[in-house]
């Protein structure tokens, strides 16, 4: 496992480097640890508040620890019309958590997101950024039990 310094240093001096560093940190740790925010602020010459603002502006990034599997449910109009609310309820019931929470075992985090760009196959769920199309509430146990 790489450390914060090594990851952040890869992007020092690059245009948009802090965002790229945050993506790399999240890829490594599944979130952006608080210590890394402070280090990134120093490295890129901005305040910690500004670094935090960048890290929390983009919905893909997280400053909270998250599960091994990030489940994101599209909440755009096409998915909503196709029954996303029923899929959300099925996921919450299956995992025993609400949107925005992580299971006690740290395996799953459930989030909402805007359009995934797959409106031809709604509702759409992603698991670690991999889309699952035409999801019905009845499919949730099978879909999530496949996560090992």
Instruction: Please write the tens of the pLDDT for every residue from 94-107.
Output: 999 999 999 999 99
Domains in the chain: boundaries: 4-57, 69-145
pLDDT exceeds cutoff 60 at 1:
no
Pairing state of beta strands 69-74 and 108-113? parallel
Mean pLDDT, rounded, of the chain: 93
Is the bond preceding 123 in cis, omega lying within 30 degrees of 0?
Answer: yes
Token readout for 115 is 């359009």
CB 51 within 8 A of CB 41: yes
Choosing among 1.10.10.10, 3.40.30.10, 3.10.400.10, 3.40.50.150, the CATH entry for 69-145 is 3.40.30.10
CA-to-CA dists, residue 135 to 79, 117, 125, angstroms: 10, 15, 7
Cα→Cα distances 14→8, 21, 51, 116, Å: 11, 10, 16, 28
Given pLDDT bands bounded at 50, 70 and 90, which one contains residue 60? confident
Which of 44 and 2 is assigned the larger pLDDT? Answer: 44
Task: Name the band, by pLDDT with cuts 50, 70 and 90, for residue 9.
Answer: very high
> What's the pLDDT band for 55 if we cut at 50, 70, 90?
very high
> How many angstroms separate the CA atoms of 90 and 138, rounded?
8
């Amino acid at each position: 496992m790489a450390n914060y310094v090594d990851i952040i240093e890869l992007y020092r001096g690059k245009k948009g480097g802090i965002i790229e560093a945050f993506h790399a940190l999240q890829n490594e740790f599944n979130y952006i640890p608080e210590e890394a925010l402070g280090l990134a602020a120093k490295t890129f010459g901005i305040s910690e508040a500004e670094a935090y603002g960048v890290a929390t502006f983009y919905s893909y990034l997280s400053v909270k620890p998250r599960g091994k599997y990030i489940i994101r449910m599209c909440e755009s109009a096409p998915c909503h019309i196709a029954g996303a609310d029923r899929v959300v309820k099925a996921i919450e019931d299956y995992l025993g958590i609400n949107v925005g929470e992580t299971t006690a075992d740290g395996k799953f985090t459930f989030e909402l997101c805007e359009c995934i760009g797959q409106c031809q196959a709604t509702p759409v769920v992603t698991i670690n950024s991999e889309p699952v199309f035409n999801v019905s509430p009845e499919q949730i146990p099978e879909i999530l039990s496949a996560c090992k």
